Structure formats: C-alpha cells, structure tokens
Amino acid sequence: MSLQGKRIVVGLGGGIAAFKAVQLVRELMRRGAEVRVVMTEAATHFVGPITFAGLTGKPAVTNLWAENYAGEVHVELGEWADAVVIAPATMNLMARATSGQANDVVLATLACARGDVFFAPSMHHRMWAHPATQSNIRTLTDRGAVVLGPVTGALANGEIGEGRMMEPDDIADEVESHLAHADDLSGSRVLITAGPTHEDLDPVRFLGNRSSGRMGYAIASQALRRGAEVTIVSGPVHLPVPSGAEVVRVRSAQEMHAAVMSRFDRCDVLIMAAAVADYRPEQREAQKIKKGGSLKLELVRNPDILADVGAKRSQRPSVLVGFALETENLEQAARDKLERKAADLIVANEASAALGGDTNRATLVEAASTTPLPEMTKRALANQILDRVRTLLTNPSQRPRREAKQEAPN
C-alpha cells in the first residue's frame, strides 16, 4: 500500500496502448492510490469509459461538461490530484499539451494540475523520432513534466522500434518512486560521470565502447527530481540534457579524469557511471592511417579515476559510488573493486545486459551487504541507487573509510 492516501488522475490519449491503462489503474489502486480517469474522445474508441467506472467506482470523464461534477471538472480534478499520469501519451496529445491547448478534458486537467505530471508516450517509432516530437519532449521536461519511456519493443503494426509504452507495473513503480522521494536529496551536490570515452587513433578513428550514457543520465534526471544540484561529466552521447543539470563535455579518459579531479572535493556525492576506457593508443597519428597490411597498436593505461578519487578524498565526497561492468564473477569482481577503490557502493552489472538497452539488472555491493535486484528500467535502477546514496549520506556509520590501492588492476 505504498501509494496509500495519494490521489492520481490517469488521462488517456487515443492510441492502441489505451488498453494498458486498465492495468495501470488497477495497479495504482492496488498500491493504495485513489484514482480518477479522464479520456479524450479518441481514447473512447479503444477502451470504454464504463470499464474505468467499474474499476474506480467513479465515472470516467470524457468531456468538459461532465454532469457528475457540480463545478468545472478540470479545475476540480487538477486541484484534487497529487499526480496526473497521461498513458498513453500520443504524439498529437503531447503536441497539443506543449502548445498550451485546453480544448478537451485531458488537456484542461493538465493545465490545472497542481501536482506532478507524467507522460508515458506510445506511438510508432518514426513518430517518436520525429523532430517535432523530440522538441515537444524537451519542452515538457523543461516545464517540469516527467517523461516515462517509451521503450523498444513490438509495436502495433508488428515492427520493432522505440515507441512502445512502458508496461503498467513499470509506470506505477516510477510514479510511486517519484511521489515517495520528492526532494529527499535537497541541498546535496551530486557529480555524475556518464557515457563512454573515445580514445583517438587518428583524426577519424577511435577506440570506444557501446555505452549509450543512459544509465548516468537517468541517475542525473532522478537526482534532480529529488532536489539535488547535479553536474554531469559526460563522454560523447546523443541524449537530451536533463533540465537543471550542468554538463561538462569531455571525449577521452584523460579529459574525464581532469574534469572529475578538479570538482570532486566540492560535491557531496560522486557517482562514476561512465564506461571509461582502460587503455588508450600510445601515439595518436596526426593523419588518417592508410589501409595496408596488419596494424599493430601499442596501448598504455589510462588514469584510474575512481581509485584516484578514493585515494585523495577526505571529507568530500561523502559518498563515492562506482560501477563494475563484468562478463564473469560479477559479485566477487565488484567486492574487490569496492575494497581497492575505497568506494562506499559498487553497482555491478553484466556487460550483456547493461550496454545500450532500456533496462538493466544490477547487484548493489556494499561493505556489509550484497543486494541483487531484478531486471528494471534504468530510471527505476537510478532510484534504487539514489535510495542507497540517501541512506549513506544520513548514516555515516554505513560507509567505513578504506584506503585505495593505486596500483591495483581495473
């Protein structure tokens, strides 16, 4: 009953994923929330209003002249709700919300919402990738809305792509986490590294990895939502910057090392989520390497950012979090890294499950505990990590100090 006492309006746009809203309403209510439903006229073509009346005990509102409300229904519901969740949020509905329209009960309720606003997009992958949609998403998030998904999967026409609405349980998890942890990191300064590093071979080629940066950016987004002051030291990624975050752009491991080392002693929390290259070419060629026979590369070690911070930290950062991306012996490798790098928490995950996707499966390793987590969205995992960070900040006894061993291998 984790949403006990919370009041939530679920708004439906006119998309095939509207049937999933039935399960979303059920799940929110199962967790203790009181739910009301508003629907666009288009949404009623996909699922009937009577279904939601049966679930909630209150009629679903489909127009601004609802007879069951004595006053202005959109004003009443907007004031009543702790959160408004739009699921599915279609391309059209989000475009109209961005432009400030209020010509149906869903948009009018959004315009009057005093609580948190969530959009769960659902559309064809080309509609999601359309520049207008991406521009609208940035505008909505800049205004404080939380965009949940979409995820990559099977779409209504059988194609596979990014545009599938998140599953109802995952949406409920996100809403619950948001409502439960609002501003619990207020006043904390959080430094996050994200993305890959690129180690140049010549002017056009580099050594890199498949990290998308989504995990680090998800942590940054959730830390901002929870009230933290956030700086991201970001390798090369193609992701929108979370509204309110400061971003320091870097390319190589050496550049990331310099950016972190010049900032870590001014932050309360350092989360090293970047996939930093362990090695770089000993020599960068000034001109493009010409095609020929075999090519031998001499590689040298990059600086170990996590270990260097662990060795130099005194009072700051109060909490140091590292990541361990492994292909075998996951827990043991993470525990070794925890000790060698003088970290407080290591987030361990398998390489096959962690790079590039929408979900992740991780194990949280601390000095006195190991916590395996089920597969979940990266946003949900971000909140699991930040829950532990908050506990470590408020309970210093849970983060025993150790000395980093500088010469240990990665």
Could you tell me if 363 and 384 are in contact, meaning their C-beta atoms sit under 8 angstroms apart?
Answer: no
Check if 7-181 and 189-398 are the same fold: yes
Q: Does the structural domain 7-181 have CATH classification 3.40.50.2000? A: no
Out of 1.10.730.10, 3.40.1800.10, 3.40.50.970, 3.40.50.10300, select the CATH number for domain 189-398. 3.40.50.10300
Exactly one of 92, 157, 209, 360 is catalytic; name it.
209
Could you tell me if 408 and 342 are in contact, meaning their C-beta atoms sit under 8 angstroms apart?
Answer: no
Supply φ then ψ for residue 177, to 5 degrees.
-60, -40
Task: Tell me whether residue 209 is one of the annotated catalytic residues.
Answer: yes
Question: Residue 300 gets which letter from DSSP?
Answer: E
Residue with tokens 């995950």: 349
Closest Cα to residue 201, out of 84, 286, 88? 286
Q: Where are the alpha helices (DSSP H) in 182-290?
A: 214-225, 253-261
Give the pLDDT confidence score for residue 403 in this predicted structure: 60
- Reported pTM: 0.70
Question: Residue 61 gets which letter from DSSP?
Answer: B
- In this predicted model, what pLDDT tens digit does every residue of 24-55 receive, in sequence order? 999 999 999 999 999 999 999 999 999 999 99
- In this predicted model, what pLDDT tens digit does every residue of 340-391 receive, in sequence order? 999 999 999 876 655 656 678 899 999 889 999 988 878 888 989 999 999 9
Would you kindly state where each structural domain of the chain is located, as residue ranges? 7-181, 189-398
Closest Cα to residue 327, out of 346, 350, 349, 347? 350
Rg (CA), the chain: 23
Question: Residue 52 gets which letter from DSSP?
Answer: H
Mean pLDDT for back-to-back runs of 10 residues, the chain (410 residues) = 88 95 96 95 95 94 80 90 95 96 94 93 95 92 87 88 94 88 87 96 92 92 91 94 92 97 94 95 91 88 94 84 85 90 91 64 91 86 92 78 54
Give the pLDDT confidence score for residue 408 in this predicted structure: 47
The span from the CA of 69 to the CA of 323, in Å, is 52
Give the pLDDT confidence score for residue 177 in this predicted structure: 82
